[in-house]
Structure 1
Amino acid sequence: MTGELDHTMIRVADIDASIDWYETHLDYELKDRHDGDGFIIVYMGPEDMGDAEAMVELTSNKGQEEIEIGDAWGHIAVRVRDLEAAYDELMAGGVDDYRDPESCGGRYAFVKDPDGHEIELVERDHGSPWSLDHTMIRVEDADEALGYWVRKFDYVETRRWEADTFANYFVDPEDAPDEAMSVELTYNYDGRTYTEADGWGHLCIRLDDLHDDWEQLMIREAEDYRDPESCDDMYAFTKDQDGHEIELIVRDPDAESLFPF
């Protein structure tokens, strides 16, 4: 079971304002939209994104005017060709100055979207410009977190950064293409705990067979959170050791809609 990451879902208060922000500043386009009973879901990504690249899913719930981010959720990172030029372009476009390249040692930078979700800029020579490079989540036990992704999903650790007080571990499916999105697991050494909030939604993994892979996850003792039957056999959800939700879907490339319903 080596499914690649399909999308990262975050919640937003004003769906139209968020769509406009991602279209204006990241050159994203609307890939699909579903207006449900009391909620709206949209998929967005670069216009010419590759098949292995991940989308961002924006979810807006009717009547929810404020989003609480929490600290268990970290950020999404997008790829740019020239870090300084990309940051200057965002500043010229009216994006608030949050963490510029100089304050980050010239290695990366950060901005925030309208709801306060952090977006890291990383310089890459692969993948579509502004495509999702990785999603960062915080974990309370690095050994458990790495073991979870290795045992449950056959992911491998592809790189790491260890500092004096924290470490970042990146995990991917084995032999994943460079343009696929990674998961960044951030572990702080001081034993802190984290708070889940409604701003952070989930990671989503594309599978070959929803039911067979779900059964394999159950054998591997993944959490039985929302099985395929409870989701009308369209998708399923499990959780990692820290409670981060992970959606499981089968994506039909020939379907008219990106949504399974």
Structure 2
Amino acid sequence: MATDPSKYKFNHSMLRAKDPQRSVAFYQLLGLSLVNKMSMPEAKFDLYFLAYDSPTAASSGAHWTDRQGVIELTHNYGTESDPNYTVNNGNAEPFKGFGHVCISVDNIQAACKRLEDEGCKFQKKLTDGRMRNIAFVLDPDGYWVEVIGQTHFEETEKESTTATTAYRMNHTMIRVKDVEKSLDFYKRVMGMKLYRTSENPGASFNLYFLGYGPDAPEPTSSKPNPVADREGLLELTWNYGTENDPEFKYHNGNDQPQGFGHICVSVDDLDAACQRFEQLNVAWKKRLTDGKMKDVAFVLDPDGYWIEVIQNERIMKRTGW
């Protein structure tokens, strides 16, 4: 029995949603499609899986476990009618941890104008602050959705159209305390490649983009970010000095107050992958043999974020999901 990490996929990122109808409609406005829904009435929750699925999408028509860049919305029954229920979006002290999900678009100016015209709220518009090539739109629960361009923003400013069929669910950002430990974990244990590093010493933070798939091409003047048109990247944000503070800790999204739940990797052989993780002495939240659900496992990363591990059903049938 063997497993090949080069066949793994960064399948999805899970966010808890107060009102699934509002949240699904929002992500559909961003161009994503509902590619799967799981109802668990006995446990009083539903799962909604959204991904880009047009004929030109990166994973058009693929089984939901055989994709990258999926967003899973988890709805616990009754939250939609509870006036006191709110989610932790991961960006407010003292509960920072998860930062955002990010879509990349064909024309960032036109895409942002379209969202403004639709009445979407923004954490940061293109015209706010010094960085004029990124925006952050807010979903119905206040999660941040970064919007970036797939080409240099100056090349699209004279165009007025945007096509959601060209969009990609590019990355998910989490903050990490000790970047050397986190990079080692995601590369050595999870089998990811480091595609891009953005160092910002003036602001005392660095960004690291990892994922699965072919090597990244060299950046060009028109595509300074050569992985902007990819799906399923993980962005690690490291703020200088956190690794030296023994009391410092990020919020994992599953302790109260809850919001972000986990990232998920789909693998070629679930049993073999979990055996490999066991041999690498990972910290487990849930082994395959724990509890009633024998088809999912959860590994803990160095900051205590949960990583779900599931079977890629295209490679090997296991659950019939």
One fold, TM greater than 0.5?
Answer: yes
Partner SS for 2:283 = coil
Larger Rg belongs to? 2
The 5 A counterparts of 1:194-209 are 194-197=250-253, 198-209=258-269
C-alpha distance after superposition, 1:129-178 (max 9, x if no partner): 33210110000001111011111022221111111210001112352686
Aligned with residue 22 of structure 1, among 5, 27, 52:
27
Aligned with residue 35 of structure 2, among 25, 31, 36:
31
Deviation at 1:30, TM superposition (A): 1.2
The 5 A counterparts of 1:221-260 are 221-230=281-290, 232-253=293-314
Aligned with residue 151 of structure 1, among 188, 192, 198:
188
TM-score for both structures, normalised by structure 1: 0.90
Give aligned-pair identity as a percent: 25
Give the unaligned 5+ runs of structure 2.
Answer: 60-66, 80-84, 91-95, 152-163, 217-226, 243-247
CA distance in 2, matches of 1:260, 1:253: 10
Change (3 A) 1:42 1:122: same
**Residues 100 and 174 in structure 2, CA contact (< 8 A), matched pair in contact too:** yes
Partner SS for 2:231 = coil
Match of 2:78 in 1: 63
CA distance in 2, matches of 1:183, 1:138: 11
Deviation at 1:218, TM superposition (A): 1.0
CA distance in 1, matches of 2:142, 2:45: 20
- 65-74 vs 209-218, which moves further: 65-74
Aligned with residue 116 of structure 1, among 135, 142, 150:
142
Q: Which amino acid aligns with 2:139?
A: D
Deviation at 1:221, TM superposition (A): 1.4
Q: Which amino acid aligns with 1:46?
A: Y
Give the unaligned 5+ runs of structure 1.
Answer: none
Match of 1:173 in 2: 212
Change (3 A) 1:153 1:176: farther
Which 4+ stretches in 1 moved above 6 angstroms?
none
**Residues 72 and 194 in structure 1, CA contact (< 8 A), matched pair in contact too:** yes
Cα RMSD after superposing both structures: 2.4
Q: Which amino acid aligns with 1:145?
A: S
C-alpha distance after superposition, 1:109-129 (max 9, x if no partner): 11110001100011116x953
**Residues 53 and 131 in structure 1, CA contact (< 8 A), matched pair in contact too:** no
Aligned with residue 50 of structure 1, among 49, 55, 58:
58
Aligned length: 258
Deviation at 1:55, TM superposition (A): 1.0
**Residues 31 and 45 in structure 1, CA contact (< 8 A), matched pair in contact too:** yes
- 58-67 vs 37-46, which moves further: 58-67
